[in-house]
Structure 1
Amino acid sequence: MTTELRVLDPAEWDDWYENLVLAFGGVAEAPEERQLWRDLTEFDRSLGVWDGESCVGTAGAFTFRMSVPGGALVPTAGVTMVSVAATHRRRGILSSMMRRQLDDVRAWGEPLAVLTASEPEIYGRFGYGIATYQTRATIDTTRVRLTVPEGTDEVVLRQADPAKAAAACEAVYARLVPRRPGMLARRPEWERLPLLDPESERGGASPKQCVLAERDGEVVGYALYAIKPEWSQSGPDGSVLLKDLGALDPAAEAALWRFLCSIDLTSSVTVHGRPVDDAWLHLVSDIRRCAPAQRDSLHLRLVDVGAALAARTYQVAVDVVFEVADAFCPWNEGRWRLTGGPEGAVCVRTEDPADLALSVRELGAAYLGGVSLTSLAAAGRVRELRDGTLVEASVAFGSPVAPWLPHGF
């Protein structure tokens, strides 16, 4: 039978989602997690591929606004729930969904599309570049000490019920979004995501706990975490599992890290999905005892090159012509002149000679300022056509803080 690609009908969601679960191993999710993703599904932005009555392909796109260098919140499609049934691989199903989805995103007027990849090699051929990285580590709190900044002792910490503290945590998160590229402004219902805590996924750890950092009665930071108790012959050897942390100033952030590293009956703090320039990296006394490691996080695609490049600011004045290759979205092909600086930018088509040649994938990687054009050029993925323009553009595209995706989708 031939397959049919169509927009998802709410009545088809269970079959559609079951195909997704099966493609990711077939382990059933907790009912509350499944319900959350159903509630967050945007049906008119979700696609299914059907072979008769069987769903064999899934893809969705959340409506996001993402912070970019300069602090603007840019309309962004959050590509999600992508799967192809094992019985229907290598039949062009994924390509057909990506083709339809990017056409739709363009029609919706969203200049960017982002995703997190189960396997990093999949999405490069559709024009996505790795734009952010994340850090994971295990801090050995029996051997590591923290040096905290002035004012840390003035921060008051208060234990709180995570659900009751959710509004205060969300208010801190919202203030942090424009400060760091790659962060997502949370729409209604998304505040439920940090509270998701299925017992089946705790792995022997406690329910989520919350501590608030306050100054003069105002909440200036929070940490969500769990504790996994363990005992060895020599005594308590538990782990603190950090789930989320946000703070509005260095003293509040240091107070939270100091708290996490000094909880009784524990000997380590495990962190994952944190920014690559996170403050704790500079608070600890011995970075080797923390064993930090990085991996890819957010993959980004410019759906509309002109609108995307004009939506962000640049660290220094820049005037450069890009020769852009984009076989999958040919409307982006050709020469674009970017003129801008710290106050804003414009990007328009031009017939002028090109200064740099690259594909849309490299533009996606460099877009948030976490990957330099010079490093991409060293790998042969950006070509300098006019002397001096590579360094000029690379400096302009940078960001004073590392871009970071705070949570998955």
Structure 2
Amino acid sequence: MTFEVRGLEDGQWDDWFDRTDRVFGGSAPPEERARLKAVAEVDRSIAAWDGDEIVGSAGAYSFRMSVPGGALVPTAGVTCVSVQPTHRRRGVLTSMMRAQLDDVRGRGEALAVLTASEPEIYGRFGYGVTSKQLGVNIDTTRVRLTPPAGVDDVTLRFVGLEEGLELCEAVYARVVAARPGMLARQPGWARTPLVDPPSQRAGASERLCVLAQVEGEVRGYARYAVKLDSTAGGPDGVVLVRDVDAVDPVTYAALWRYLFGIDLTSRISSYNRPADDPLLHLVSDVRRCLVSTKEGLFARLVEVGAALEARTYTTPVDVVLEVADSFCPWNEGRWRLTGDPKGAVCVRTADPADLALSVRELGAAYLGGVSLSALAGAGRVRELRDGALREAAVAFGSDVAPWLAHGF
């Protein structure tokens, strides 16, 4: 079987998306399709062609992602990766990943990230799981909040999704740099949380928005929907939380207190919160919050030196890394990383290696949420100099867990 991988031309995106959507079950509603088309970067969309038929797809967005230290680093957001079931196990995916990473490197982006429907696929291309997302399903009849002092000074008001968009985005922009893995909103992306197709609500209300203010200043917001239900014992509705962001702990707690108290509901459900969400320390009984975790963001260092220089390190570090990267061989070899909380330098070296690992492990540890020591415990990082593992593991850490607030 022969195929050709090449970029899209004008007018081919709709056919490309049709084929991609078919692989994912053909479930994209018209509203979501329109949003994706509005933010699509056609010049970063590639396809595998079998004659005149599209049999594979891969796209990318030009993002800026927060990394430890607060810098917003140019990052390729990989999306819409698919292979038609008629063309599996023919090298289609490998060829598209090859073409895409070459293009990312050519654009000067040191990082690529993605979310995965099937997480086992991307490790062989150098992507490591670098963040987790927390899910909660809280019994609000049996779990109470203990908010900090000052929550009564926070006022709340309803606002339409469109009307509140600019104010919510201003809050979001203030919190991006504080947590690795968050994406600065590129043009068009602010509307992502507003897409709320009736066909996808499964009986819930339309999405609602509440702003939190202190002395007239908007300091936080929550977006959510309510799905009403009842049992023989009375109302049993659920609050479906989409977003909660705030610039300070008091406002954050006030928003959750509001969500806990919505009439005719007895549960709160949210599928994507940070792994270290302060909510877990506000509740009286974590067990009844039914906490779950799963992989969130996958990261790939496309240029090892530039990527490691783009972030800072919690403690001084001077370590030589022996990096294996068969898929992007320009990364292979030894790199000396010297860094601290103010900055870093990472250059080629002939010095003896202190740690040996693959680029996949570097991607996992890059945002500070996965410990190099934990990876070593799994046999995926080897310590070649006594003490080097602890030194590097501490330096690579982050004071807050990395988190991707929304998919792409």
TM-score by length of structure 1 reads 0.99
- SS of corresponding position for 2:163: coil
Give the C-alpha shift of residue 32 in structure 1.
Answer: 1.5
**CA deviation digits over 1:9-40, x for unaligned, max 9?**
2311121111111111233x221111111111
Give the C-alpha shift of residue 146 in structure 1.
Answer: 0.2
CA–CA distance in 2 between the matches of 1:348 and 1:216? 50
CA–CA distance in 1 between the matches of 2:278 and 2:210? 18
Letter in 1 for 2:341: P
Q: Does 1:11 align with 2:11?
A: yes
CA–CA distance in 2 between the matches of 1:12 and 1:271? 37
Letter in 2 for 1:7: G
Give the C-alpha shift of residue 73 in structure 1.
Answer: 0.3
Q: Does 1:80 align with 2:79?
A: yes
1:9-48 counterparts in 2 under 5 A? Answer: 9-27=9-27, 29-48=28-47
- SS of corresponding position for 1:263: coil
CA–CA distance in 2 between the matches of 1:4 and 1:229? 51
The residue aligned with 1:141 is 140
Give the C-alpha shift of residue 8 in structure 1.
Answer: 1.0
CA–CA distance in 2 between the matches of 1:278 and 1:206? 26
CA–CA distance in 1 between the matches of 2:23 and 2:241? 29
Give the C-alpha shift of residue 43 in structure 1.
Answer: 0.6
1:207-286 counterparts in 2 under 5 A? Answer: 207-286=206-285
**CA deviation digits over 1:262-300, x for unaligned, max 9?**
000000000111101111100000111111000001000
The residue aligned with 1:174 is 173
CA–CA distance in 2 between the matches of 1:2 and 1:400? 49
- SS of corresponding position for 2:262: coil
The residue aligned with 1:380 is 379
The residue aligned with 1:57 is 56
The residue aligned with 2:110 is 111
> Structure 1: which 5+ residue stretches go unaligned?
none
**CA deviation digits over 1:302-321, x for unaligned, max 9?**
00000000000000000000
CA–CA distance in 2 between the matches of 1:30 and 1:374? 43
Letter in 2 for 1:94: L
Give the C-alpha shift of residue 356 in structure 1.
Answer: 0.3
1:268-307 counterparts in 2 under 5 A? Answer: 268-307=267-306
- SS of corresponding position for 2:177: helix
The residue aligned with 1:159 is 158
The residue aligned with 2:2 is 2
Q: CA RMSD in A?
A: 0.7
- SS of corresponding position for 2:25: coil
Give the C-alpha shift of residue 87 in structure 1.
Answer: 0.2
The residue aligned with 1:121 is 120
CA–CA distance in 2 between the matches of 1:389 and 1:326? 21
- SS of corresponding position for 2:77: strand
Letter in 2 for 1:31: P
The residue aligned with 2:186 is 187
Letter in 2 for 1:15: D
Give the C-alpha shift of residue 246 in structure 1.
Answer: 0.3
CA–CA distance in 2 between the matches of 1:243 and 1:360? 33
Give the C-alpha shift of residue 150 in structure 1.
Answer: 1.2
CA–CA distance in 2 between the matches of 1:257 and 1:41? 34
Aligned pairs, number = 408
CA–CA distance in 2 between the matches of 1:122 and 1:408? 18
> Structure 2: which 5+ residue stretches go unaligned?
none
CA–CA distance in 2 between the matches of 1:10 and 1:62? 17
Letter in 2 for 1:193: T
CA–CA distance in 2 between the matches of 1:22 and 1:33? 15
CA–CA distance in 1 between the matches of 2:214 and 2:17? 45
Give the C-alpha shift of residue 373 in structure 1.
Answer: 0.3
Letter in 1 for 2:307: A
**CA deviation digits over 1:122-142, x for unaligned, max 9?**
000000000000100111000
CA–CA distance in 1 between the matches of 2:197 and 2:25? 18
Give the C-alpha shift of residue 52 in structure 1.
Answer: 1.7
**CA deviation digits over 1:209-246, x for unaligned, max 9?**
00000011110000000000101111111000000110
Give the C-alpha shift of residue 6 in structure 1.
Answer: 1.0
- SS of corresponding position for 1:122: helix
- SS of corresponding position for 2:5: strand
Q: Percent identity?
A: 65
1:346-365 counterparts in 2 under 5 A? Answer: 346-365=345-364
Letter in 1 for 2:13: W
Give the C-alpha shift of residue 330 in structure 1.
Answer: 0.2
CA–CA distance in 2 between the matches of 1:31 and 1:271? 24
CA–CA distance in 1 between the matches of 2:106 and 2:15? 28
